């Protein structure tokens, strides 16, 4: 598992890539649900988890690009695709009424501008709780969409290439 998620060398096929992205999507959803605890300190734990997930996503993308015979720098397009899908999902979830209340967001901004640390921390905790479930939903759905699109556009190179032999099925 460590070689799959934390090493940029080699190649992985479409099914291994899909499984890896799904694992990252589930971990990201669980990290989003940590916001339900309401503890402001959990923000830093969540950010740490998301950093590890980003590194893992980049490593998977590099190996998937290698499998298609392309440079690992193609992972930048994967990141842009993920950001686009995440943004679209965020807008959709907000349109159907999931996510933080705009009034709550305004109160958070007001507390931050007034430099009331206690109120700011309490309101930020409330906002994290409100964003937890929509964040978990978008993590799973976004992972599926991105993995599908990347596999669709990066066709597997069926022979050995400069990045290594064909990965096992």
Residue-level pLDDT at 33: 83
CB burial of 40-55 (b: ≥16 within 10 Å; e: otherwise) equals: eebeeebeebeeebee
How far apart CA 65 and CA 136 sit, in angstroms, is 27
Neighbours of 71 (CB within 10 A): 12
The larger pLDDT score, comparing residue 117 to residue 153, is at 153
Residue-level pLDDT at 1: 60
Mean pLDDT of the chain: 85
Is the Cα torsion angle 121, 126, 128, 129 positive or negative in sign? positive
Whether 56 and 5 have beta carbons less than 8 Å apart is answered as yes
Quote the tokens at residue 79.
């990141």
Residue-level pLDDT at 100: 67
The verdict on pTM exceeding 0.85 is no
Using 50, 70 and 90 to split pLDDT, how confident is the model at 41? low
């Amino acid at each position: 598992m460590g070689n799959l998620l934390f090493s940029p060398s080699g190649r992985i096929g479409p099914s291994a890539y899909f499984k890896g992205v799904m694992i990252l999507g589930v971990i990201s959803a669980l990290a989003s649900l940590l916001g339900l605890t309401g503890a402001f300190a959990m923000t830093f734990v969540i950010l740490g988890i998301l950093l590890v997930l980003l590194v893992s996503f980049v490593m998977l993308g590099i190996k998937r690009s290698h499998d298609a015979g392309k440079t690992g720098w193609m992972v930048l397009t994967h990141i842009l695709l993920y950001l686009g899908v995440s943004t679209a999902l965020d807008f959709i979830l907000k349109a159907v009424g999931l996510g933080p209340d705009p009034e709550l967001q305004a109160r958070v901004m007001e507390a931050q501008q007034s430099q009331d640390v206690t109120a700011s921390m309490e309101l930020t905790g409330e906002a994290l709780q409100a964003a937890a479930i929509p964040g978990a939903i978008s993590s799973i759905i976004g992972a599926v969409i991105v993995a599908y699109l990347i596999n669709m556009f990066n066709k597997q190179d069926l022979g050995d290439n400069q990045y290594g032999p064909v990965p096992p099925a």
